[in-house]
Amino acid sequence: MDNRFATAFVIACVLSLISTIYMAASIGTDFWYEYRSPVQENSSDLNKSIWTDFASDEADEKTYNDALFRFNGTMGLWRRCITIPQNTHWYSPPERTESFDVTKCMSFTLNEQFMEKFVDPGNHNSGIDLLRTYLWRCQFLLPFVSLGLMCFGAVIGLCACICRSLYPTIATGILHLLAGLCTLGSVSCYVAGIELLHQKLELPENVSGEFGWSFCLACVSAPLQFMASALFIWAAHTNRKEYTLMKAYRVA
């Protein structure tokens, strides 16, 4: 094997490993989107009601988003979290005076992941919003497809190393290309879904939102997958081409 191809193969493996780690971390963390809100009043009955509804298993889309808006919420693919402000009397007895922050997270069940989204969030009589429904499902499924494709590509790459041949890595490159497209699709679906949600539910005054570091990891993972794909395919194709020319020259 030519040193050029071996070097390209090693670099592609490193890029693949980094993108896999980034993608796995992105899927497993809860900071795809973050809200920043002012500190709520400690004695507010409304805040207590929102907290209770957020922790309920029957919380609908509007209910948990209201809590995310008010309590510095964060969203992941699997979970939603809110942070209780310091010295919140309805959460702890008034006699406790020390300052503390409490983070409460609730996981999305599989039924919630595949549940229909409504034109008016929280209003089941407003009709199904098909666009938001399928955007949500794609943003949840595509990262797992991407991770699975990269793992399958890694198995093929390992077989190529055992066989001491670069040609099977063309399949690895194609799988990484598909994985990159899935990651890019997931990121695009998430951005579109968030924008459509904020058109339906406007952010309260003094509340801001921004994409978090989990989302950034997914964004970085996609170009790494594309670069690894290009290197795998180039190394395999060029090495195969040179081998064929050399074999033809020897026969001649």
The pLDDT assigned to 102 comes to 76
* Spatial CB neighbours of 122, under 8 Å, sequence gap ≥ 6: 60, 61, 62, 63
Listed in order, strand segments (DSSP E) in the chain are 33-36, 74-75, 79-84, 102-107, 208-211
- Record the tokens describing residue 241, joined without a space: 């081409």
> Can you name the CATH fold of 3-87+101-244?
Butyryl-CoA Dehydrogenase, subunit A; domain 3 (1.20.140)
SS3 145: helix
Q: Are 174 and 229 in contact (CB under 8 A)?
A: yes
pLDDT digits (tens, 9 = 90+) for 131-187: 999 999 999 999 999 999 999 988 888 887 777 666 678 889 999 999 999 999 999
Q: What is the mean pLDDT of residues 20-47?
A: 82
Helix axes 169-200, 213-251, angle to 10 degrees: 160
pLDDT digits (tens, 9 = 90+) for 77-87: 989 998 876 55
Out of 39-43, 111-115, 167-171, which region has the weakest mean confidence (pLDDT)?
Answer: 39-43
Out of 7-11, 85-89, 103-107, 155-159, which region has the weakest mean confidence (pLDDT)?
Answer: 85-89
Q: Amino acid identity, residue 138?
A: C
- Record the tokens describing residue 71, joined without a space: 């309590």
Buried b / exposed e over 76-106, threshold 16 CB at 10 Å, is bbbebbbbbbeebebbeeeeeeeeeeeebbb
pTM to 2 decimal places: 0.83
The structure tokens 């209201």 sit at 66
